[in-house]
Amino acid sequence: MTVQDDIAAMMDEIGARARAAASRLAIASSAAKSDALSAAADALVARAEGMVAANARDMDAARDKGLGAAMLDRLMLDEARVRAIAESLRAIAAQPDPVGEIVEAWDRPSGIAIERVRTPLGVIGVIYESRPNVTADAGALCLKSGNAVILRGGSESHHSAAAIHACLVEGLRAADLPEDAIQLVPTRDRAAVSRMLGMTGVIDVIVPRGGKGLVGLVQAEARVPVFAHLEGIVHIFLDASADPEKALRIVLNAKTRRTGICGAVECLLIHRDAIATVGQGVVRALLDAGVEVRGSAEVAAIEGVVAAGEDDWGREFLDKVIAARVVDDLDAAMDHIARYGSDHTDCIVTEDDAAAERFLNEVDSAIVMVNASTQFADGGEFGMGAEIGIATGRLHARGPVGARQLTSFKYRVRGDGAVRS
Amino acid sequence: MTVQDDIAAMMDEIGARARAAASRLAIASSAAKSDALSAAADALVARAEGMVAANARDMDAARDKGLGAAMLDRLMLDEARVRAIAESLRAIAAQPDPVGEIVEAWDRPSGIAIERVRTPLGVIGVIYESRPNVTADAGALCLKSGNAVILRGGSESHHSAAAIHACLVEGLRAADLPEDAIQLVPTRDRAAVSRMLGMTGVIDVIVPRGGKGLVGLVQAEARVPVFAHLEGIVHIFLDASADPEKALRIVLNAKTRRTGICGAVECLLIHRDAIATVGQGVVRALLDAGVEVRGSAEVAAIEGVVAAGEDDWGREFLDKVIAARVVDDLDAAMDHIARYGSDHTDCIVTEDDAAAERFLNEVDSAIVMVNASTQFADGGEFGMGAEIGIATGRLHARGPVGARQLTSFKYRVRGDGAVRS
């Protein structure tokens, strides 16, 4: 047997165990699932020192590999971060159980009563990079929604993920739930990922969490359905009637609060009638805040703005950089978004209700906004508790994916001897 | 260019037109969509004679090919059937528009108000066999849900489908909607189907309608997501507490009302404690009704029952044949269903509430029933109006797929200058 064969066999074994666990989890009580999460949180806090020590091994290796400061910060665990992860587990534990929730119910004249009720999806695969907290959040959300999960973390966070995973398994054991409900792929070999992506009939959906490289690879190779977004090419359109104060506040927050998240704005579209007033004010404020503004001709006329190149439209900077373009009207703004956007989050700043409604209805993105910062594009901000990711596809899941979107449904039909005529 | 290249180019052109039409349809008014369907129904009735004549050409060709009586009956159109198709279009026109429906709405303490609202999926491909009414029903359901559709009918119904399609296009024109919203693939070449199955990014979902051969091929080959069921291996479990009169009525209806539909029961599971009473009565009634009963040893002891072979479990007879097996208890019945079922529809006949609840919760089929005929597994019987098919997958659509399940959703977020802290 080659190494590849070995890994394929190992992944198939992990898959078979996950399916068996999924059957048991599907009928687990809400209390058992919450208990498991609370016990896992307790274990994390009790072993915080061990977590930090395991993470220190990952950090040493990462420094040896010459990873950058941003990457190191993402990877790092201290006791405060371990406590935050535990708190996140407790928050998920406290949420309502989506499984068994009756979504709708109705009676038919034929004498049957029908309920549509949420059920788990089955087995979820999560492929992620360096953030250790994804191990806990993804594991917890899948458990909450009654799904077994196969976690495949990045090689940089190998020891951290293993330490966190051990706490999750301790929680499962404490609640008498199958330990195979949350499995961590033990190998760092890339062949394990390839195998996962082809495990149709075993894994029901794959969620990739990470940069464009990882997500693009998963989307291109996967035969299993994928919930993901490749990029967050987020636009804000300053309409002619935009309120100057709101525009300023929203754009600054959407660009500078955090530049590295997918809800950060990457392109500002400015109505021609607003460029000399609201537009100019917003651009100057961005420059003052240290943001590099790459503008179309009219915007580049403002001192400090550099000329945008064609490849600055539809570009995800994830940095203190923003593209800015003047457009003739609402239609031109929506055309730009349809052409360059990524179906993630797009926003209009306007005081004109008709323009707002057209934007909300006609822009085909997972999240469309009026007069709000695009950094609200987040499961926590939507009130879902944690999110496993944000999806831009149109099948099943869309926008922030919380526990509820990790469920399917079935119909329960009750009669009293009813037959079809 | 080869013929294959020609067909690929033609399908790509059809796909591009469908996408363009989908963008316009997504923002079409409810009234325009209903008007188009009503106008199409009017056209069908006005041209009923022409429909029947076109169908006669298909019928002649089918007879020449030696198609069987059941197939010919499926294919046949007379004026009454044309009127029924028109009525179905009017019924879909009269249903509420799922697009724009606000599924949920909530406010967040951060100052944003969130709505989840239904949107179209985009472009749907429907691949079907001989029934001419599928052209109308599938076209109408996709239009109702704001989706463009590419219809690929069976070669047997070529002329009938073209005649019905012309009426649908007339309806679109009358309502000033894009004619490309409902396209019929003009070629009978099988290469068109292969091309459709790989058109990811153009077709959002494929719905195959037809026998196991067609559906299996689509499921195996498609790279586009598929809503389908391969088989309806439907079980009824007669529990120890089953009411004899209800059991008799339900099983007879579920088997004999129509034997060729996917909701027809194919396997009867009988609790050991009920075989001498309820079980025996039901089996005798089936035999009296002319049903061939293939039984396990205990059932085969009843006069007239033939011995079942191992391949009779998990078999879709679609005929006046039923498999019947004695099981020890509810768990054994559920184990049998998990092993041999097809996740379509399964039913328990019982007067024991605890057994009913366990069955409803633990059997993982799209439709689970208590004391009702499995022939209710149908979009019309569920109150959805027409259905485009029944799905047994767990992603997005499940059970009868009506207009609502042909939609996706997006989030509308409204603020008044809200920013994230």
B48-65 and B79-94 helices cross at what angle (nearest 10)? 120
Q: Do B282 and B331 reside in the same domain of the chain? A: yes
Considering the domain architecture, whether residues A370 and A239 belong to the same structural domain is answered as yes
**Helix, coil or strand: residue B207:** strand
- Domain containing A215 equals 3-227+396-413
- What distance in Å separates residue B216's CA from the closest CA in chain A? 14
Note whether A177 and A239 are same-domain residues. Answer: no
Decide if A394 and B122 are in contact by the 8 Å CB cutoff.
Answer: yes
A104 and A139 together in one domain = yes
A73 and A215 share a domain? yes
Distance from the A269 Cα atom to the nearest Cα atom in chain B, whole angstroms: 17
Report pLDDT digits (tens) over B251-267: 999 999 999 999 999 99
Average model confidence (pLDDT) across chain B: 96
Specify whether B210 is located in the same domain as B259: no
Asked whether residue B249 falls in the same domain as residue B198, the answer is no
CB < 8 Å to B110, chain A: 376, 381
Same domain, residue pair A247 and A191: no
Q: Are A262 and A364 in a shared domain?
A: yes
Per residue in B373-391, pLDDT tens?
999 999 999 998 888 999 9
CB atoms within 10 A of CB A56: 14
Residue B112 is nearest to which of A108, A225, A376, comparing CB atoms?
A376
Are residues A22 and A166 in contact, defined by beta-carbon separation less than 8 angstroms? no
pLDDT in single tens digits along all 421 residues of chain A: 577 789 999 999 999 999 999 999 999 999 999 999 999 999 999 999 999 999 999 999 999 999 888 889 889 999 999 999 999 999 999 999 999 999 999 999 999 999 999 999 999 999 998 788 899 999 999 999 999 999 999 889 999 999 999 999 999 999 999 999 999 999 888 899 999 999 999 999 999 998 899 999 999 999 999 999 999 999 999 999 999 999 999 999 999 999 999 999 999 999 999 999 999 999 999 999 999 999 999 999 999 999 999 999 999 999 999 999 999 999 999 999 999 999 999 999 999 999 999 999 999 999 999 999 999 999 999 998 888 999 999 999 999 999 999 999 999 999 999 999 9
- Distance in Å, alpha carbon of A181 to nearest chain B alpha carbon: 18
Closest CA to B235 of B120, B366, B348, B311: B348
Q: Give a yes or no: residue B391 inside a domain.
A: no
- Structure token pair of residue A312: 């600055």
Distance of CA A32 to the CA centre of its chain: 26
Residue B342 token pair: 């097809």
CATH code where residue A137 lies: 3.40.605.10
- Report how many domains make up chain A: 2
For B211-264, strand residue ranges (E) read: 234-238
Q: Does B387 reside within a domain?
A: no
**CA neighbor of B130 nearest in space, from B214, B224, B227:** B214
Query: Is residue B389 a part of any domain in this protein?
Result: no
Which of chain B's residues have a Cβ under 8 Å away from the Cβ of A108?
381-383
Say whether both A20 and A116 belong to one domain. Answer: yes
Kind of pairing, strands A148-152 and B399-401?
A: unpaired
Structure letter (DSSP) for residue A226: B
pLDDT tens by residue, B61-109: 999 999 888 889 889 999 999 999 999 999 999 999 999 999 999 999 9
Q: How far is CA B50 from the centre of its chain?
A: 28
Confidence at residue A1, expressed as pLDDT on a 0 to 100 scale: 58
Structure tokens at B17: 């037109």
Which among A246, A257, A416 has the least Cβ separation from residue B417? A246
Specify the pLDDT at position B1: 58
The number of helices, as runs of H, and strands, as runs of E, in chain B is: 14, 16
Angstrom distances, CA of residue B154 to CA of A112, B132, B159, B402: 35, 9, 10, 22
pLDDT at B21: 98
Is residue B185 domain-shared with residue B213, that is, in the same domain? yes
Q: Name the amino acid, one letter, at B75.
A: L
Cβ pair A419:B225 closer than 8 A = no
Task: Establish if B190 belongs to a structural domain.
Answer: yes
From A47's Cα to the closest Cα of chain B, the distance in A is 31
**Contact at CB, B395 and A112, closer than 8 angstroms:** no
Shared-domain flag, residues B248 and B159: no
* pLDDT mean by block of 10 residues, chain B; 421 residues: 84 97 96 98 97 96 91 92 95 95 97 98 94 93 98 93 97 98 93 95 95 92 93 97 98 96 96 97 98 97 97 96 98 98 98 98 97 96 90 96 96 98 92
Q: What percent of chain B is predicted at pLDDT more than 70?
A: 100
**Which residues lie closer than 8 Å to A294 by C-beta, 6 or more apart?**
A305, A306, A307, A308, A309, A312, A321, A322, A323, A324
Task: Supply the CATH number for residue B307's domain.
Answer: 3.40.309.10
Segments in A198-271 forming alpha helices (H): 212-221, 244-256
Q: Are A89 and A40 in contact (CB under 8 A)?
A: yes
Asked if the Cβ–Cβ distance from B382 to A417 is below 8 Å, we say no
Cβ within 8 Å, pair A410-B246 = no
